[in-house]
Amino acid sequence: MTQETGGFAAFNLNPNILAAVIATGYEEPSAIQQQSIPIIMAGQDMIGQAQTGTGKTAAFALPILHCIDPAKREPQALILAPTRELALQVATAFETYAKQMPGVTVVAVYGGAPMGPQLKAIRNGAQIVVATPGRLCDHLRRDEKVLSTVNHLVLDEADEMLKLGFMDDLEVIFKALPPTRQTVLFSATLPQSIRAIAERHLRDPQHVKIQTKTQTVTAIEQAHLLVHADQKTSAVLSLLEVEDFDALIMFVRTKQATLDLASALEAKGYKAAALNGDIAQNQRERVIESLKDGRLDIVVATDVAARGLDVPRITHVFNVDMPYDPESYVHRIGRTGRAGREGRALLLVTPRERRMLQVIERVTGQKVAEVRLPDAQAVLDARIKKLTNSLSPLVADAESTHGELLDRLTADIGCTPRALAAALLRKATNGQALTLAAIEKERPLVPNNAPRGDRPERTGDRPDRGDRERRAPVPLAEGRARCRTALGARDGIAAKNLLGAILNEGGLAREAIGRIQVRDSFSLVELPEDGLEKLLTKLKDTRVAGKQLKLRRYRED
């Protein structure tokens, strides 16, 4: 046994599991593993507070595998995860650690895949079930006894499960499990909703809290740009003009935003693709391979879809949408600056997000310098430089290979070589603006690119608010009440975001929710008058795009 694996050997894990750990190249246990593994191996309930990236999957996977009886062909451990991507990631980790444990099988249970094979794998005796709550409840409706043999339950990223509206599903799952089971809960944060679950369903849990010190790679040059939410696509296109990148990943918050931005980039001639949770695994693999080999240069992704993405040629990360927390920011920008290479990370910041920028700077201990959009001269210089770079390699032998053709064309057309060269340049640049005046006309963002000190007080934060607030609301339908939230378009909110949050957290049917009006600095939502106060209380802690919804009855006085 090498000294490096001595830390894991000290846990007295099943030798087959230890062999698999050695094969993965793990050396010393992380802090969360050091504290959690003995507690879980002892069969105690536990609450673990730790961020993604701390090694928490191995912290529960290794001790649970140690407790599994391969001879029993029945579900013995259930791991709940908030998303399909995380469920697949956890299931893969279990399979890796169980490689040398004959008879142990793992099944991933999630939406978007046929139910039949999943249920068959469970009934055939898969000992480890990794599931999303929604799909698992679908299985319970078919067979309520499917979890009756489970004696280990893990809730991974419990706070994310509640944000996605799985509270009711979790209660159904708890009731379907034996009351004598061991329960382990991992969560990055411990809001009151998580504490309430722990009080109801955990028995004298041990608490493990890991303080993660966030650090960024010094090779990554960081900068931010102040921009309004509706100007982000234009800002991205302007920045791409002057950034000298090899490959680039852009992060946005929603699946729809990945499609919209990738489409806008493709329309401008960039080799770009979207990567989100709705994309099938084989397509995801094709996108990543294309990014690696140069068939793609830009990927627009959500945080979840980008997990495990490691492409050495990524030189730039664009945070088009602000991440929800500093740790996510660090994970995002860590996609560049790999293997000793330099990297560059750009963050688009709306006026309301300045405070989060300050939090990121404080947590990372690094200043994120402010940059401005490139002016027309910078764009012109960049375009000419790219044109020069593309033509330079062709000049060396062009006269010997195409000189005679040039002479013939100038004679046939009756023009000078200069006139012919200019015509060919016009054709080659396909109408691209290559004068200062033409570029100025393309640039709707310039007026908002002045430094903060050059702008009138507050005009950047809340333009035309008075006019927008005074617009007459649409008449209400009978039996509905109008509610208001301070979140609006300037926060990156769309009607579908509000609808999804209210449906998930409020437990309403789609037809119960009326018109949703999203304006610049606020939004209006029509909800049932009957039971409204109870519903608003239920939605009290709901967050949309990382901000509290705070719905209130709207008084039209």
Q: Rounded to whole angstroms, how far apart are CA atoms 538 and 141?
A: 26
Element (H, E) at 222: strand 220-226
pLDDT at 190: 85
Res 424 pLDDT > 60: yes
User: 220-373: what fold?
Assistant: Rossmann fold (3.40.50)
pLDDT at 544: 81
Nearest to 386 by CA among 483, 243, 272: 243
The residue-averaged pLDDT of 435-445 equals: 64
pLDDT at 94: 94
Q: Locate the domains of the chain by residue range.
A: 3-209, 220-373, 377-442, 465-553
pLDDT at 498: 86
Res 48 pLDDT > 90: yes
The residue-averaged pLDDT of 228-248 equals: 87
3-class DSSP assignment, residue 260: helix
pLDDT at 14: 92
Res 3 pLDDT > 60: no
Question: pLDDT band for position 468 (50/70/90)?
Answer: very low
Higher pLDDT, 542 or 34: 34
Q: Rounded to whole angstroms, how far apart are CA atoms 422 and 415?
A: 11
Nearest to 33 by CA among 80, 68, 66, 1: 66
Other CB atoms within 10 A of residue 350 CB: 21
From first CA to last CA, the distance across the chain in angstroms is 76
pLDDT at 442: 65
* Distance, C-alpha 285 to centroid of its chain: 17
The residue-averaged pLDDT of 83-87 equals: 81
Angle between helices 255-267 and 232-242 (to 10 degrees): 50
Helix ranges restricted to H, 145-275: 158-163, 167-176, 192-201, 232-242, 255-267
**Reduced to 3 DSSP states, what percent helix, strand and coil does the chain have, rounded to the nearest 5?**
45, 15, 40
CATH of domain 3-209: 3.40.50.300
Q: Which residues of 249-267 are buried (b: 16+ CB within 10 A; e: fewer)?
A: bbbbbbbebbbebbebbee
pLDDT at 441: 64
Phi, psi of 40 (to 5 degrees): -70, -40
Q: Alpha carbon of 557 to those of 470, 551, 554: distances in Å?
A: 11, 18, 9
Question: pLDDT band for position 425 (50/70/90)?
Answer: confident
The residue-averaged pLDDT of 474-488 equals: 80
The residue-averaged pLDDT of 137-141 equals: 90
The residue-averaged pLDDT of 399-422 equals: 87
3-class DSSP assignment, residue 479: coil
Using the Cα atoms of residue 53, residue 56, residue 58 and residue 61 in order, give the sign of their dihedral: negative
Most confident among 22-26, 28-32, 446-450, 482-486 (mean pLDDT):
482-486
pLDDT at 215: 54
The residue-averaged pLDDT of 503-522 equals: 81
The residue-averaged pLDDT of 198-210 equals: 91
Most confident among 38-47, 298-307, 434-443 (mean pLDDT):
38-47
Higher pLDDT, 29 or 178: 178
pLDDT at 161: 87
The residue-averaged pLDDT of 474-497 equals: 80
pLDDT at 72: 93
Residue type, 507: G
pLDDT at 313: 87
Higher pLDDT, 128 or 486: 128
pLDDT at 162: 84
Higher pLDDT, 172 or 471: 172
Other CB atoms within 10 A of residue 363 CB: 18
Q: Rounded to whole angstroms, how far apart are CA atoms 298 and 312?
A: 13
Q: Rounded to whole angstroms, how far apart are CA atoms 260 and 264?
A: 6
pLDDT tens-digit series, residues 68-79: 999 999 999 999
The residue-averaged pLDDT of 269-291 equals: 87
Q: Rounded to whole angstroms, how far apart are CA atoms 89 and 66?
A: 20
Res 455 pLDDT > 60: no
The residue-averaged pLDDT of 89-118 equals: 89
Res 487 pLDDT > 70: yes
Question: pLDDT band for position 206 (50/70/90)?
Answer: very high
The percentage of residues in the chain with a pLDDT greater than 70, rounded to a whole number, is 87
pLDDT at 234: 86
pLDDT tens-digit series, residues 141-183: 888 888 999 999 999 988 888 877 888 899 999 999 999 999 9
The residue-averaged pLDDT of 301-320 equals: 83
pLDDT at 340: 61
Q: What is the pTM of this model?
A: 0.46
The residue-averaged pLDDT of 428-452 equals: 59
pLDDT at 54: 63
pLDDT at 514: 84
pLDDT at 40: 96
| Same CATH fold assignment for domains 220-373 and 465-553 | no
Weakest mean pLDDT among 338-347, 453-462, 496-505: 453-462
pLDDT at 512: 80
pLDDT at 6: 52
Angle between helices 56-67 and 31-41 (to 10 degrees): 20
Correct CATH for 465-553 of 3.10.450.240, 3.40.640.10, 3.30.390.10, 3.30.70.330: 3.30.70.330
pLDDT tens-digit series, residues 349-374: 988 788 788 878 877 778 898 988 88
Res 258 pLDDT > 70: yes
Res 462 pLDDT > 50: no
Res 213 pLDDT > 70: no
- The mean pLDDT value of the chain amounts to 82
pLDDT at 448: 41
